[in-house]
Amino acid sequence: MKKSIKHIFLGGLFIASLSACNKKLDLTPVSSISDANYWRTPDQFDAFVSGLHTRFRGHNNAFQVLGEMRADVFGTEPGNASTFTGEATQGIERLWQQTLDLDNPGVSNFGGFYTNIVQLNLLISKLNTTNIVTTENKDYYLGVAHGMRAFYYFQLVRTWGDVVIQTEPVVSIDISNLAKPASKADEVMALIKDDINKSLTAFGTNYGFRQTRSYWSKAATQMLKAEVFLWTANRGGGNADANTALGSLTDIQTNIPSLTLLNNYTTVFASGNKGNNEIIFASRYLLNESSLFIAGTYLPQTGLLANFYDSAGNRPFNVTADNWGGLLRAPVTVAAFRKFDDKDSRKWASIQPAYNRPSPGVYVIAGAFAQKFQGEQNAGSRVYTNDFPIYRYADLLLLKAEAKVLLGQSPATELNLVRTRAYGANYAESTYGFPNQAIDTDAKEAILRERLYEFVFEGKRWYDLRRMGDSYVFEHTTVLPADAYKLLWPIDRSSLTNNRALTQTKGYPAF
Q: Could you please report the per-residue DSSP string of 406-453?
A: HTT---HHHHHHHHHHHHGGG--HHHHSTTSSGGGGSHHHHHHHHHHH
pLDDT score of 237: 97
Burial class (CB in 10 A: 0-12, 13-18, 19+), 6: exposed
pLDDT score of 11: 34
Three-state SS string across 248-272, please? HHHHHHHHCCCCCCCCCHHHHCCCC
Going 122 to 163 to 399 to 336, the CA torsion angle's sign is: positive
Which of the four pLDDT bands, split at 50, 70 and 90, describes residue 235?
Answer: very high
pLDDT score of 10: 33
| Whether pLDDT at 489 is above 50 | yes
Nearest residue to 133 (alpha-carbon basis) of 9, 248, 45? 45
The Cβ of residue 315 has, within 10 Å, a number of other Cβ atoms equal to 12
Rounded CA separation 442/58 (Å): 38
Rounded CA separation 287/424 (Å): 32
- Mean predicted lDDT score pLDDT of the chain: 92
Coil/strand/helix, residue 5 = strand
| Whether pLDDT at 14 is above 80 | no
Give the fold, CATH level 3, of 1-59+113-206.
Answer: 1.25.40
pLDDT score of 21: 37
Cβ atoms of 302 and 325 within 8 Å: the answer is yes
Cβ atoms of 48 and 26 within 8 Å: the answer is no
User: 375: which DSSP letter?
Assistant: -
Nearest residue to 83 (alpha-carbon basis) of 238, 300, 228? 300
Rounded CA separation 150/142 (Å): 12
pLDDT score of 256: 98
Cβ atoms of 83 and 76 within 8 Å: the answer is yes
| Whether pLDDT at 16 is above 60 | no
pLDDT score of 33: 56
| Whether pLDDT at 18 is above 80 | no
> How far is CA 295 from each of CA 91, 200, 369, rounded to the nearest angstrom?
17, 36, 11
What is the per-residue pLDDT across 378-403, written as a single tens digit (0 to 9) for each?
Answer: 999 999 999 999 999 999 999 999 99
H or E element at residue 353: strand 351-359
The Cβ of residue 429 has, within 10 Å, a number of other Cβ atoms equal to 13
| Whether pLDDT at 180 is above 60 | yes
- Helices 238-255 and 393-406: crossing angle, nearest 10°? 150
Rounded CA separation 334/317 (Å): 18
Q: What is the pTM of this model?
A: 0.93
pLDDT score of 501: 94
Burial class (CB in 10 A: 0-12, 13-18, 19+), 364: exposed
Q: How far is CA 405 from the centre of its chain?
A: 24
Lowest mean pLDDT among 37-41, 404-408, 481-485: 37-41
pLDDT score of 34: 65
Query: Rg (Cα) of the chain, in Å, rounded?
Result: 23
Rounded CA separation 294/16 (Å): 25
| Whether pLDDT at 358 is above 60 | yes
pLDDT score of 13: 34
pLDDT score of 308: 97
Lowest mean pLDDT among 170-184, 244-258, 363-377: 170-184
| Whether pLDDT at 53 is above 60 | yes
pLDDT score of 25: 55
Rounded CA separation 511/504 (Å): 6
User: 81: which DSSP letter?
Assistant: S
Q: How far is CA 320 from the centre of its chain?
A: 31
Nearest residue to 381 (alpha-carbon basis) of 320, 299, 295? 320
The Cβ of residue 53 has, within 10 Å, a number of other Cβ atoms equal to 20
Rounded CA separation 59/119 (Å): 14
Rounded CA separation 4/35 (Å): 16
pLDDT score of 27: 53
Share of the chain above pLDDT 70, in %: 92
Contacts of residues 33-41 at CB distance under 8 Å and 24 or more positions apart, as own/partner, are 33/8, 33/9, 34/8, 35/7, 35/8, 35/9, 35/171, 38/8, 38/9, 39/126, 39/130, 39/132, 40/132, 41/132
| Whether pLDDT at 44 is above 50 | yes
What is the per-residue pLDDT across 150-171, written as a single tens digit (0 to 9) for each?
Answer: 999 999 999 999 999 999 987 6
In this prediction, residues 255-266 reach a mean pLDDT of: 98
Segments making up each domain of the chain, as ranges: 1-59+113-206
Rounded CA separation 135/495 (Å): 40
